[in-house]
Each structure stands twice: as C-alpha cells, then as structure tokens.
Structure 1
Amino acid sequence: MRILWVLPYLPWPTTSGGKTRQYHLLRSLAARGHRITLLVQSKSSLDTPIQTALEPFLERLIVLPRRSLRHPVTLLSALFGPWPLLTVVNGLSAPLQARFSQLLEETWDVIQIEHSYSFQPFDRLLRGQSFVLTEHNLESSLGAATYDRFPGWLTFFVRFDQWRARRWENQVFDHASRVIAVTEDDAVAMRQLTQTPVDVVVNGVDTREFAAVQRDAASQRILFVGNYEYAPNKDAVQWALDEILPLLWRRCPQARFAIAGYALPQDWAELWPDSRIEWVGFVPQLTELQARSAVFFAPLRHGGGSKLKVLEALAAGLPLVSTAQGVSGLPLVDKQEYCAGETPEELAAALAQLLEDPHYARQLAVKGRDYVRDHHDWQIAAAQLEHVYQQLPVKDSSACV
C-alpha cells in the first residue's frame, strides 16, 4: 500500500512512548513492503542523525516547522478559538495545510492521521475523504495529566478547554473512516463518542531486542523511565521520592532508585540529595540500564493508554511493581505477572518483597516476559494495523485520494 502518514512530532529519537510507537510501526510496515510518505510538523529541526534513522524505510520524509508557543496566533486562538489548547498549538498552520493539499493530488491507499489534536489543518481538505485516525489517549479525559501546571484561578479555562476537547474529539472521530485506540479500555470509551468503527492496535516491543537482557537481582536497583515533558511522569517520580522510597528505605536501606529518561529536571538532584538516588537521564540504549537493575517501578497516578516503558521492562525480564494506572490497558494478573499497589505503604511493601525474595521476583519476571512476547511484539501491532487498512472503503481506481 501507498501510505501518507501525518505526525505532529518527529518519531526520532524515541524519547517518549508516542515516538517509540511511531518509529516501530513505520519501520515494521516498511519491512512488510508498504511505501510510506511521512509528513511531520515539528518543534525540533531535521538533522543528519534523524534523517539517518528515518529515511531508510520511508519513501519521503517531509518536515515543516511548528510555530512558537508564544506566537500571537497561538495565544489568541487558545483564549478565544473553538479548538482545544493542544489543537491550537499543533494546528492553524497555513504552510502545513498547503503542503498537505499538494500531497492530496497524489493517489494514496491510506491516509493516517496521528492524534485528533493535530487534525485541524486537514479538517476541510479531508471532508468526504477516507482516512484513519489514531488516538493515543482521550485528551478530554486526561484531567490532571494535561492541566496540572495551571494555577487554581484558571479553573474556568481548564473546564472550558476540556469541553472544547470533547467537542473536537467527537467531530474528528465522526469524520474518520476508522478510529484506532491503543487499548480496549480506550476503545470502549471512544465508541461511546462516535458511530465510526474503533479498532485496537496495541503498543508493542521489539521482543528480540529485549530477550537477551538478564537483570541484576543483587543490584537492589529500582528503575523508572519516563519523558519528563509529560506531567504524569514528573508526578510519579515526585510521589515516589516524597512518600514511597522513604518507607522502602526503612526496610531495605541499600535499595537504589535509578531515574532515567528525557528532559530530567535539573533541580531535582538538589531537591532530593540522597546518594541512593541515581539521576540517569536519557540513555540511547535502555537494555544496558535494564541489565543493571533488579525491579521496574511504575508509580503512575495519571495518564492513559498502555505504557511502553512498562512493556519494555516486562520484555527485559524485570519484575514489575505498579499502580493500576501504570498497567492501564494491560490485563496483567496481580501477584502472578506483577505486584500491584495504590498507596505508598502498599507500593513500598511490594518493592521490598521483590528485593528480598529473588525466587518470587524471578517467577514474576518470567510470566511478564511471556505475556509481552505473546501479545505485544511490534509485528503483532503491525498486523493489527494492516487489518484496519483492509476494512477501509474501496476507492474508485480513477479517483485521487
């Protein structure tokens, strides 16, 4: 198939779950013989490493710059426009609209738009056209995950923006030929908003890459990975350091907490100066860090979808301690495939149990790795996406789409 794939960010480097998903799905589809043109609006510029990573499996890579967050168009539209805040930030781009219009003069088997919040420039152009929309989260339902940095006096704006987001989601979902969710739970919620068929394409893992990882049970190292431009990851670390790790250290004083990922706040090391905290930051090769860890910890309280960091940890054979939010969308069984907890006391006790009982930790690790291999390899996700494409309306061969 000839696919036009549209993204509001560059999928390399894979510094977030969304970017990781995009990179591996694009690569997997290209390996299956599909020809892909990737149209990107990005706040970061296209450089040689990005080109080297992406261009080998793309027919074309087209990157347009995104305007500044403080641009008058963004500020005024955010306050007075009919679109939600994220849509304003990623939309209202005449250059992007013009380039997309040019591309529509060509013939496409599939047009795939990622995120409803990126859809505004294409709204008018795709009226009556067949396209697939992937929605990683229901943005209108994220609540604190989206608006946690807003002061209390902006409560009215937050409620207004949530209303705009739900209205926009309804509109975009209804225009699409198929909507794709990443979990069945999200799909159920989306089906309540639209008559458009909603399919599931799971988040995945390159299971072969992680299969060789052997964790270091004696390290006492607890690992967390996240993109700290995303508020739920910041909240998870802050909650862990303020309330959970102090309880664990009373029972396991040698335990270490390694905090890895992109955009690690520089002031955290000063706020939490304990030497048992390892400020790792972004690492290009996650398997090396996983191999030096004993447990993966996902103390997430906000967010949506399924968490790639959790799937990658399970694929690497790391036993998992997590809240319900950390394993959202994953039918994992507590005490068989991971350890569950919701309070600081429960989570600290679960971490201590895995550090103190290597046999139990190994059992969980084996079960977790088996689950990911059987249900979340990227080849499984790519096959699910191809199945969605096969459900699209058959086009007149003489028509340009």
Structure 2
Amino acid sequence: MNNILVVMNQYVYPPNDGGKLGIYYRLKCLSTKFNMHLVIFNTENVNVENDDFRWAKNVMVVPRLKKPRYMCNSSELIKQFISWGISRMPRQSYILNSNDVRRKIKAYIIENNINIVLLETPFSYVAVDFCFLKKRNIRLVTVFHNVENIYFQETSSWPRWLSCFEKKRIEALEKIVLKNSSMSICVSPYDAEWYKSTFGIKNIKYLPSVLPQTSKTWKNSKTQYIIFFSQLSFPPNYYGLIWFLENVFSKYSDKYPDVKLKITGRISNDRERIIKKYNKNIEMTGFLKDNDFKALLENALFSIVPVKHGSGVKIKLLEALSCGMPSITTKHCYDGIRFDAVKGKEPFAVADNADDFLKYMYDFTENSCIRERMSANGYDFYIKTYGSQDNIDNWTKNIFGEENT
C-alpha cells in the first residue's frame, strides 16, 4: 500500500462545516486505499484529541506558528507586517512558513518511505521542498478548493491597495504550485477551466468532492416557508441575498403573502437590521442546534441559493441536495456544480436572471409534483456524483497516477 503524506493548513475535526466535511470525509475514504500520514497546521488553535483521525497511520500537529493579529500589540503588528511584506508570500502561506517544520517533514518523508505528497491547499506549499520531492521521485498532488486569488479578491476586507498587492502574490503562488505539481485537482469544474485557460496548465482535472452517503429526509409538506441557510459573514452569500431581496422576493411576497423566508445562522446586528427592512415576511432564526436545523430543512417548501459571485463549490446547495430538498440557484452556482441532464431530470433549478428565479419559485410553490420530482432528481444526483464509490475510485486513480494503475 502506498504511503501518502497529506499537508493541511487547518484542523478539520470536527467536520462541522461544508469545507471541513469535504476534506475529512475524502481523506477518511482514501485511507482504505493508502497509508495516510497527516501533517496539520493548527492555525485556529483548536483542542486536539488523539482519536480525531483514528483512521490515519500517523498525525503530526504543528502548533500555531504566528500570533494572530488580534492578539498582537502595535509593535508586534508592525514587526509582523514588515516580515510578511519582505517574505514575498501570501499571508496564508506566511503563517505556515518554518524552516524547522520543513526539516521535520523532510526527515519524516525519508523515514516513512512516503511516495506521494498531497497538499490540501496551494498555500501549504511552504511546508515542502519541491526540489527534494523531485529528486526522490515523489509524486506531488495539490487540491484547489477555489481559484484562490479570485476568492481572496471577492472576500477581502483589506484596504484596496493592499488587497491588490496580496491578490498578485496569491496568483503568482498558484502558478508556481500548479507548475510543480504532478497533478492538480479542482473540486469545481469552473475553477479547473479557469486555471487551464489562464495559466495554460494541462495537468489539472475536475473531480467532485467526496461526501458521505445520506438519507433523503426532506418531506413534501405544506409548510409556509422557504429557506436560505448560509454564513452571511461571507460577502458573496450576503450580497447574493441582498440581490434576491431587491429583485425577487418582494414580487414573490406580493403573490404569496403567507410564505415566510427563513434565514438561518449567526449574523451581525447591522446586517440583520438591513435585511429585515426589505420585507415583513423575513424571519431570522439565528444559530440553531443540529436537531432544530435538520427539522427546519426537512419541512421547508424549498431552498434558495442566490449567490452570484465567488469561486469554488457552493456547499449549501450540496447540503440541500443531500437531504433531497428542492433548490433554486443561479447560473453562477451551476458553474461550480454542473450537471448534464435531459429536461425533466435536472437536479436543481438554474435561473439566469431575476425573472427566471421568480418563475421557478412560483412553480415550486404551486406544484407539489414539481417539488417531488426535483427532490428525487437532486438526491439521486448527489449520491451518484458525490457519494459514490466511483467518485472515490477516481480520486484514488488521480492521486496515485493513472500511469501507475
């Protein structure tokens, strides 16, 4: 069995959000195919338990290397800013950079006969020595969860001049990592196409995230609410919701005044006040415990995912499909979760504009047969695309290398 060393820039246990779940579950599944060795940078300083990754052969946890900005005094902030500025690294790589850690990883690779290194983000490249890997003929595979420079640009709250500076650094990093990787894997088809066309990279492929098989729990009930569940601290989610409220929901409420829009998750007081001003039929649930959240999902008429910006896969859409909930989303979301289906077999509704979005909402509200069909299609698509053994086998083949299988 091949020995694979996985380098992660975050501690993904417990897998309590979509991104962590995708990484944790995929690695757990792949541990049946490889001897899995993990190097985890504990950048969030979470509590670590010995059995969090019991399926791995060994786990090396690297304590937080740089003090977070909110814990620094003025002098420390200035010193760290200068150090980062002259490092030529994006900040997400800078906080992982350590000669001592690189030496330990190099020694670990030799001692344990590692023949594949998997980077769970391009920012983790600072943990390995490209020349050393090539000299030992070690295969390097990098997973891209977003087009990182675009993701940063669309989510950054930094001053504009500093954001532009950092975006260029991230883009340069992506190009270096792509060129030095034996294989790069994107979890979004749009992202793979962007990298190919922008950098002329050929050794890159789209593979769907590996996610757990689930039960179809959504009920086609006659409840009077639809749902939007997402982190509104994430700018693309917040601005997508504002677009929906301004262009779609007011017209929908005029026709269906008894149907509420329930919005889940924590949100700042300022943003909550702004959202509530749009319509009296908006209900903010706040943070919900797991059982309450699942009950809310199971009984909603349908979900909306009106995101129009941001790279990567929209995890909330996958969560809706995984329980069989009918969903309406945008062309932008479709670019991250594409399907090839004949009319009547679509797993979710894709709206090109506000009028299309509104029409789908009318259809879903009025016709329980449409909701039931979309529920079945969406759940079947999720299981076959993300929760299948074929998907796990494709990941195995591309990590190991098709030429070696």
Q: Which category describes the TM-score, using the shorter chain as reference length?
A: 0.7 to 0.9
2:117 corresponding residue in structure 1: 111
Q: Say whether 1:187 aligns with 2:192.
A: yes
Listed one character per residue, the Cα deviations across residues 304-336 of structure 1 (whole Å, up to 9, x for unaligned) are 222232123123111111011222233335874
Write the mapping of 1:368-387 to structure 2, written as runs, cut at 5 A: 368-377=378-387, 379-387=389-397
Q: Does the 8 A contact of 2:308 with 2:330 survive in 1?
A: yes
SS of residue matched to 2:239 = helix
Q: Say whether 1:289 aligns with 2:296.
A: yes
Distance 2:153 2:243 in 1: 14
Q: CA deviation at 1:33?
A: 4.8
Q: Does the 8 A contact of 2:189 with 2:338 survive in 1?
A: no
SS of residue matched to 2:268 = coil
1:20 corresponding residue in structure 2: 21
SS of residue matched to 2:169 = helix
SS of residue matched to 1:387 = helix
Q: CA deviation at 1:282?
A: 5.7
2:172 corresponding residue in structure 1: 167
Listed one character per residue, the Cα deviations across residues 17-52 of structure 1 (whole Å, up to 9, x for unaligned) are 32111111022122x25332221112333426x655
Distance 2:289 2:29 in 1: 23
- TM-score scaled by length of structure 1: 0.83
Q: 2:249 aligns with which of 245, 252, 260?
A: 245
Write the mapping of 1:312-391 to structure 2, written as runs, cut at 5 A: 312-332=319-339, 336-377=346-387, 379-391=389-401
Distance 2:325 2:36 in 1: 35
Q: CA deviation at 1:95?
A: 5.0
Aligned pair in 2 of structure 1 residues 127, 369: CA closer, same or farther (>3 Å)? same
Task: Give, as a single letter, the amino acid of the residue that structure 1 aligns with 2:38.
Answer: L
Distance 1:245 1:352 in 2: 11
1:134 corresponding residue in structure 2: 143
2:6 corresponding residue in structure 1: 5
Task: Give, as a single letter, the amino acid of the residue that structure 2 aligns with 1:45.
Answer: N
Q: Does the 8 A contact of 1:178 with 1:196 survive in 2?
A: no
Write the mapping of 1:14-163 to structure 2, written as runs, cut at 5 A: 14-30=15-31, 32-47=32-47, 52=51, 54-66=52-64, 67-70=66-69, 71-72=77-78, 74-88=80-94, 90-94=95-99, 96-106=101-111, 107-123=113-129, 126-128=132-134, 129-142=138-151, 144-147=153-156, 149-151=157-159, 154=160, 156-163=161-168
Q: Does the 8 A contact of 1:24 with 1:378 survive in 2?
A: no
Q: CA deviation at 1:127?
A: 4.9
SS of residue matched to 1:327 = helix
Q: Say whether 1:215 aligns with 2:219.
A: yes
Task: Give, as a single letter, the amino acid of the residue that structure 1 aligns with 2:182.
Answer: S
- TM-score scaled by length of structure 2: 0.83
Gaps of 5+ in 1: 395-401
Q: CA deviation at 1:283?
A: 4.5
Aligned pair in 2 of structure 1 residues 282, 178: CA closer, same or farther (>3 Å)? farther
SS of residue matched to 1:328 = helix
Aligned pair in 2 of structure 1 residues 201, 363: CA closer, same or farther (>3 Å)? same
Q: CA deviation at 1:296?
A: 1.5
Listed one character per residue, the Cα deviations across residues 218-248 of structure 1 (whole Å, up to 9, x for unaligned) are 1233223334453322333343345443332
Distance 2:395 2:309 in 1: 27
Q: Does the 8 A contact of 2:145 with 2:186 survive in 1?
A: yes
Q: Say whether 1:265 aligns with 2:268.
A: yes
1:232 corresponding residue in structure 2: 236
Deviates more, 1:234-243 or 1:320-329: 234-243
Deviates more, 1:166-175 or 1:98-107: 98-107
Distance 2:58 2:114 in 1: 13
Task: Give, as a single letter, the amino acid of the residue that structure 2 aligns with 1:43.
Answer: T
Aligned pair in 2 of structure 1 residues 112, 374: CA closer, same or farther (>3 Å)? same
Of all paired residues, the percent bearing the same amino acid is: 17
SS of residue matched to 1:27 = helix
SS of residue matched to 1:55 = coil
Q: CA deviation at 1:166?
A: 1.9
Q: Does the 8 A contact of 1:204 with 1:381 survive in 2?
A: yes
Q: Does the 8 A contact of 1:244 with 1:344 survive in 2?
A: yes
Listed one character per residue, the Cα deviations across residues 337-366 of structure 1 (whole Å, up to 9, x for unaligned) are 322224444423422321222122222222
Q: CA deviation at 1:125?
A: 6.7
Task: Give, as a single letter, the amino acid of the residue that structure 1 aligns with 2:150.
Answer: S
Deviates more, 1:117-126 or 1:197-206: 117-126
Q: CA deviation at 1:65?
A: 3.0
Distance 2:80 2:131 in 1: 21
Q: CA deviation at 1:287?
A: 4.0
Task: Give, as a single letter, the amino acid of the residue that structure 1 aligns with 2:329.
Answer: S
Q: Does the 8 A contact of 1:224 with 1:260 survive in 2?
A: yes
